[in-house]
Amino acid sequence: MAYRGNQQLREDIWDYRDRPSSRERENVLRFPRSDEEDYGETALDLVNQAAELFDSMEDHAREREANAQSLCKSLAEKLLLSERQKEAAERAQLETITELNRRLHDVTRALKHAEKRILSAEDYATAAEFRAQAAENQLLKANRELAAVEEAIRTRLL
């Protein structure tokens, strides 16, 4: 099974080499074809071309690294900013919850105070009703006694 995978990989690599892209064609060094070649000059030319190619590759790598570092720095700043915003939101949420708890406590206390006042007012109203009934009973008793006195005056004096 592993042999088959390796064989497929080899075939893919050879297929890929058979189809050079335009960028690969740019990176291919050209060897001069002449009958009277100056091998020293050709070698020096090739070394210069290779050096230029390596310089170009290093420049490209530096640009990529600078872009990556810039991106990392930007993302780190954004992460720091979002962490600060999250902390601020959490503080605001905690302050809101604390304020709501304080208000709820105040409302609960006011409600208990109002309930006590209502009970007190009900007790006062009940006591007033009893006093009114007692006063009404005294009034009825006084009216009966007055009626008895009037009757006694009529019968005895008149």
pLDDT digits (tens, 9 = 90+) for 121-154: 999 999 999 999 999 999 999 999 999 898 888 8
Is residue 85 in some structural domain? Answer: yes
Please tell me what DSSP assigns to residue 62. H
Is residue 9 in some structural domain? Answer: no
What's the whole-number mean pLDDT along residues 75-97?
96
| pLDDT at position 32 over 90 | no
CB atoms within 10 A of CB 94: 10
Is residue 12 in some structural domain? Answer: no
Is residue 81 in some structural domain? Answer: yes
Is residue 45 in some structural domain? Answer: yes
Helix (H) or strand (E) run with residue 114 in it: helix 39-157
Which position has the higher pLDDT, 28 or 130?
130
Burial of 67 (0-12, 13-18, 19+ CB in 10 A): exposed
Is residue 11 in some structural domain? Answer: no
Number of domains observed in the structure of the chain = 1
Write down the pLDDT at residue 20. 53
Which position has the higher pLDDT, 30 or 148?
148
Return phi, psi of residue 91, to 5°: -65, -45
Gap between the Cα atoms of 69 and 81, Å rounded: 18
Is residue 10 in some structural domain? Answer: no
Is residue 7 in some structural domain? Answer: no
What range does the domain containing 57 cover?
Answer: 20-157
Residue 30 pLDDT class (50, 70, 90 cuts): low
